[in-house]
Chain A
Amino acid sequence: MDPQFSFLTVLESIDYDGTEDAVAVALKEKVLPILQANATAITSSSEGSLNVNITGASAESSRSGSKDGGKEGSAGGSRDTEKTLLPKYVIAKKHQDDILTQTDPARVSALWILALTAKFGNQTADISEFFSNVNRLLDNISGAQAKLVPEHYRALLYMIVGASDAIENPNLLLRPLLNAALSFSPSHDMLSPAHALFLIQALKAKQYKLALQLLKYDVDKFDSAYGLTYQDHLRFHYYGAMVFIGMKQYEKAIEYLSIVLCAPGFPCSMVQIEALKKTILLQLILYGKHALRLPRMANDFTSHSYRAFARPYDHFAVAFENGDPTVLKLVWNQINNIFSADGNYGLALHSLTAFRKQRIQKLRKTFITVPMEYIESKDIDILENGPSTKGFVLAMIEDGDLRAKISQKSSTSPIIVVFQDGSVTSSHLDELEAKLDSVRLLNEKIAIADREVGQSREYLSRKLQSASAPGGFLSRGGGLEDLEGYDDSMMEL
């Protein structure tokens, strides 16, 4: 039988009107075995084409591919063997164009991913054709199918980033990347290989608002089966924090950074150290102090390494908290080159403005009314290039940073700043109501996670071990053979 005929016939035989998952299962069962059967012939060429020269992620996938090449024939239903075989689903040249010209990317996204990685994997490919195809694919991609071919999907994403970097236009495929990240799971709460890449490109393009479209969904589901590593997780949250910094949403940025800081595992990653540096500056900007209040979940080892790496930031924080402008200026002069070397100069400059603001804001605790003259005598602009005290105070009042009014009895009398008392208004209460709702929601999610963990294999087997201790009524392994090989994350496929 003509392999091409059977291949396209099989493709047409699938019922594309079913659910996304049903289509993915059909593809997995009917189409991929055919590709796999045809793949042996082109193994050698596929190896080369997959070596997308960008980062370790794709290199790793090709490495594991070659290492396990010998097991190729023994394709079983279990996920582990499937995973090592996936790089072999490389479509023969004659199928590539068929797929790209005759099929709908929305229906057979997995095949498109395979075809694209095979066709454009080498350096000489036509970049404009690549972009138009990738655009078509990513605009319509099915997340469930992308999960079928995680290594290829990941490789394709890196190819996209590499190509946009090559033409120095991060904007070009930003929206398709966003779509790719969003389509990975219907509730948008699962980390995909596209997440961190999209954020890098968005940061490069300074498209913070677009980035927020992804960041408005909190990510709390992860699965290494989709070719993800801890670096994807750390980078996603780190870049997410950078986006929030760009949007001046500092609270949210700190939240994302603390996720990075508390990432479980060992030892500590460079990303975490960079995260700590930013956290210190952000805490100074927001609260005027940095007590290195690492959340409880950060483990001891990492918090120790943090301190060693971020020492200059600690010095700066101590001077900042001390509140003496001359000391802060001294420290600033010593270490501002470290800030710029770390790419934190902008944030550090911002913290100096925050320092000036906080000193003025503090006056409201002491005074009801205070002459502008007095503020001028206390106000110190560390870099000596900001607005005058009067201008600064007016801007603060204007921006809502200072609840006060300026009063002057006559044009010649001194200018007085009158602080106003705040009180709880209805908008505050709405805010409170919204906050309580979100806490309630979170509580439910935690309860669900708790239940799931309670049912997971690791947890149960540990429970079982403790139950099999002397006096326990269950012997080890007794009664739970059914669960052997059970992995709840498989249910999601």
Chain B
Amino acid sequence: MSLETHVNSKLVDSLPLFELESHIQNYTGRNAIDRLLFIADRCAPLAKDALTLAIGSLKQTADVNRYEDAVERLHEIAPHDPRATIDTVWVDEVSKATRSTGDKLELELKSYKNNLIKESIRMGNSELGDFYFSIGDLSSASKFYSRQREYCTTHKHIEDMSMDMIRVAVYQQNWSQVETAMSRIDALPSKNSDIEPYLKAVRGLWSLAQSNFALAASTFLNVPVESLTHFAPKSRQKVTYTITEFVTVNDVAVIIGLCSLASYSRNALKDLLDNNANFKEILESEAHIRTLLDSFVLFDYKSIFSTLEKHKTDYMLDIWLADHVEKMFDRIRENCYIQYVRGYKRGYLDKMAARFGVSQDDVEKDLIALIESDKIPVRLDLENKYFLFKSADERADVYDHVMSIANTFERNGRLLLVNIGVLRGGLEINAKPESSGFELKKKALM
């Protein structure tokens, strides 16, 4: 698949179920803007609205670059829109203000450095990091945050620094940096328990980014619902570390729902629905996920697929889920097949097709692919159109096993004997100058 078609396959041309303006109100700050720009990228019908909203939000920030980009993009699709021209007065004003703030902070840092006051240098770097973050220069922010490191004197400082770095890295989706910062926090002898849920959620996003759905589901399941609905306690005055900065409780419900459908067995999922109070509460925010999971438990695969299809556009426009939707859907279908087949000694393909709401040929094709990749232990009878559960022939297995052990032993034993003989007889290969090991040319061999 070429890069272009790869990108195209992620574009959406239908409208999502949500209403853009109210949907985006769930998010704040940079994440809201990121989401708007993302939607503008992926969904042409919503591009204009999304850009307009984004421009409005960007004007509340000092992020001049992204403001200009957004306006340009709006200009491309709606040249006559009044918001499609750059507000130069605002841009000049903000640029000037940021430049002077930046200069002032750098100057301060320099003087701290001259005075060699560790704590002030650390604070100076931290403030510069915050400053660059506020104007949208994430790589500079990350640079200054990381420079605090050698000036940290307490565990708390290291924790704060790592949290700052994690935050920036998540925005950049730079997971290796997240990993480094997380391990730094893990290495601390004690840490603030308030940040636990936040770290868990980040870890969940990270697993999702790696398409490790099972891990993503189990990690998010451990994020307490309170931390998703309330703002976490402020750890410092200026920044709050809240999960809601990245995901809302609705998003988490969807992520857990889809990930568990893709990777959990029916029993595990049933157990989850029955016994996990935290999950139950999370689920309350997304009714369609609850329905999906119930359908899975009740073997109602047809409705799973139709519900998934109905919400597909929504998922495709979520900044975290978008790139994994196709893969997730494939895995969910696989999982459904696996759960279905498990109950049968012999099952007929036409019934199965009806259950899944697909054609018999599709079922056949899917099953063959699953069997060939060793995911389902059945064999197909294409003449009579049924599948049969593979029964293990233990006698044959034991026989094969014993034979293979005996063969290996025999081979190795022979080798050992020959090599002992060779060494004792003085026939090991040697590189005497007059008869090097390479002198045997092909001619002598043939």
Task: Report which A residues bind B (CB closer than 8 A).
Answer: 55-56, 60, 191, 218-224, 228-235, 238, 255, 258-259, 262-271, 274, 295-297, 343, 362, 365-371, 374, 407, 416, 418, 421-424, 428, 431-432, 435-436, 438-439, 442-443, 445-446, 449, 452-453, 456, 489
Contacts and interface: CB of A to CB of B under 8 A. Distances in A.
Point out which of A366, A369, A422 has the most chain B C-beta atoms below 10 A from its C-beta.
Answer: A366
Contacts of B411: 255, 258, 295
Interface stretch (B138-146, B152-160, B417-425): B417-425
Given A416-B383, A423-B395, A446-B416, A439 B424 contact: no
Given A223-B425, A230-B430, 15 more contacts: A56-B435, A234-B429, A263-B429, A265-B437, A267-B438, A270-B442, A271-B440, A297-B416, A368-B380, A369-B383, A407-B383, A423-B393, A424-B399, A449-B416, A449-B417
B379 A436 contact: no
Interface stretch (B44-52, B256-264, B298-306, B402-410): B402-410
Contacts of A442: 409-410, 413-414, 417
B274 to A, nearest CB: 36
Contact of A269 (B372, B425, B429): B429
Contact of B437 (A262, A270, A443): A270
A270 B441 contact: yes
B406 A435 contact: yes
A367 B379 contact: yes
Contacts of B445: 235, 238, 270-271, 274
Contacts of B239: none
Contacts of A443: 413
Given A271-B440, A435-B403, A438-B410, A424 B395 contact: yes
A230 B428 CA distance: 6
A446 B429 contact: no
B419 A224 contact: no
Interface in B327-346: none
Contacts of A362: 372
A432 B399 contact: yes
A264 B429 contact: yes
A343 B445 CA distance: 10
Point out which of A222, A264, A271, A438 has the most chain B C-beta atoms below 10 A from its C-beta.
Answer: A222
B322 interface: no
B395 to A, nearest CB: 5
A259 B418 contact: yes
Contacts of A56: 435, 439
Contacts of A268: 429, 437
A12 B323 CA distance: 97
B97 interface: no
Contact of A365 (B371, B388, B414, B421): B371
B425 A371 contact: no
Given A269-B438, A432-B402, A439-B410, A368 B379 contact: yes
Nearest to A431: B403
Contacts of B407: 435
Given A270-B437, A271-B445, A297-B415, A223 B381 contact: no
A368 B381 contact: yes
B446 interface: yes
The contact size tier of chain B is 35 or more
B82 interface: no
Given A295-B412, A374-B382, A222 B427 contact: yes
A366 to B, nearest CB: 5
When A and B form their complex, which 10 residue pairs have the shortest distance between CB atoms, in order from nearest? A265-B429, A222-B425, A265-B428, A224-B426, A369-B383, A269-B437, A368-B381, A220-B417, A223-B425, A442-B413
Contact of B421 (A222, A231, A255, A295): A222
B53 interface: no
B440 A219 contact: no
B396 A424 contact: yes
22 contacts: A220-B420, A221-B425, A230-B429, A263-B428, A267-B429, A269-B437, A297-B416, A365-B371, A366-B379, A367-B380, A368-B380, A374-B382, A423-B396, A431-B403, A435-B410, A436-B406, A442-B409, A442-B410, A446-B416, A449-B420, A456-B424, A489-B425
Contacts of A453: 420, 424
Contacts of B410: 435, 438-439, 442
A60 B429 CA distance: 17
Contacts of A55: 444
Contacts of B429: 230, 234, 263-269
Contact of B419 (A263, A416, A456): A263
A422 B438 contact: no
Contact of B371 (A232, A262, A366, A431): A366
A489 B444 contact: no
Nearest to B430: A265
B413 A264 contact: no
A446 B413 contact: yes
Nearest to A268: B437
Contact of A220 (B380, B395, B402, B418): B418
B1 interface: no
Given A264-B429, A271-B445, A432-B403, A229 B435 contact: yes
Contact of B382 (A264, A370, A456): A370
Given A258-B415, A274-B445, A295-B415, A228 B425 contact: yes
A274 B372 CA distance: 35
A445 B417 contact: yes
Contacts of A218: 414
Given A436-B406, A446-B416, A222 B382 contact: no
B417 to A, nearest CB: 4
Given A259-B418, A424-B396, A424-B399, A266 B430 contact: yes
Contacts of B437: 265-270
B440 A270 contact: yes
Given A263-B429, A423-B396, A369 B384 contact: yes
Nearest to A232: B427
Contacts of B428: 230, 263-265
Given A238-B445, A258-B415, A229 B396 contact: no
Contacts of A369: 381-384
A259 B372 contact: no
B431 interface: yes
Contacts of B209: none
B368 interface: yes
A443 B445 CA distance: 34
Given A238-B445, A265-B429, A255 B399 contact: no
